[in-house]
Amino acid sequence: MPNTIQTQMTELPGNGSTVPAFLAKPDGDGPFPGVIVVQEWWGLDDHIKDVAQRFAQEGFVALAPDLYHGVVAKEPNQAQKLMMALDMNRASAELVRATDVLASQPYLRGRGIGAIGFCMGGGLALTLACDSPHIRAVAPFYGVNPNPLSKLGSLRGPVFAVYAEHDDWASAKVREELRQDLERYGKLFETKVYPGTQHAFFNDTRKEVYNADAARDAWAKALELFRKSL
């Protein structure tokens, strides 16, 4: 039976600035494992908030930082412009800050934190797993690779990388580079390419690309990864 949950928007403190974020947690004092949920290029929209709430219902504290600081795209051209204008170094630093804040919460009490992200957020989640000592497992969905790839040597836990068969963003070349470098650094990982799927197949608000069977399987595998690792 799903956990009863609490949700709220919050402001994460930082070096002279704050980062808005959506927090979803189970009722109670924990300790709970944590998950950082990283947005698609649309922003912190209802879909990403729903993913965070799904994690909370499964017993995780989920924190989804708002990397666009209040802006949510309504159509692809706007989303592309927002992503292109985003300072990825700043976004990565904000994700590390969010992870530090989550790790310090009393309701975690030393439980591990995972990272999951989609599209733009898939690459940022994988980079976060390289940058933060708190991330013990990561599930990037159809994301690009960290730059430089040598950052993968800093991973502290397993990777479950999810891909669509038909995807110019996270292409076969991107997938193969990740596989080769994870093997080179001796990391524990699994990659899965879902046949017949398009980029963003997990997003059930995008009916033109959503694939229920693939989304259900990828979700179950991500949950299994986090339950085993955190």
Query: Which residues participate in catalysis according to the annotation?
Result: 119, 167, 199
- Cα–Cα distance between 225 and 205 in angstroms, integer? 25
As a whole number of angstroms, the distance between CA 225 and CA 115 comes to 11
CA–CA gap between residue 90 and residue 215 (Å, rounded): 30
Amino acid (one-letter) located at 28: G
